[in-house]
Amino acid sequence: MTVDNSTTGGMEMETPTYRSDWTEFERPSTAVVVAVAEATGVEADQLPVLNEYVDGDALDTLLRQSNAGVEVSFEYDTVTVRASSDGRLDVESLR
């Protein structure tokens, strides 16, 4: 996972974006939980259940079986998650 501290208009971004590649995992939903844990410093087993925010099975199916350039965005606990069918996974703080 990497942190994008890029600048916009000469100013540092207010919230860093944590980037990962969900294709390194068997399931995109697993990658989301791991990425959010790393981005927030909270142990994965201490995070709320992902299915309370988004249907993990549907997320897996949508991202793994899509050739149409699908991008999904949702709030999970204290972050916004963006995942795309090309493997990109971004986690950004809501605060």
- Cα 20 from Cα 89, distance rounded (Å): 5
Instruction: Tell me what the mean pLDDT of segment 90-94 comes to.
Output: 93
What pTM did the predictor assign? Answer: 0.82
- Cα 6 from Cα 3, distance rounded (Å): 9
pLDDT digits (tens, 9 = 90+) for 43-91: 999 999 999 999 999 999 999 987 778 999 999 999 999 999 999 999 9
Q: Which residue, among 15, 18, 23, 25, has the nearest Cα to 2 in the 3D structure?
A: 18
Domain ranges of the chain: 2-8+15-93
pLDDT digits (tens, 9 = 90+) for 20-50: 999 999 999 999 999 999 999 999 999 999 9
- Cα 73 from Cα 83, distance rounded (Å): 7
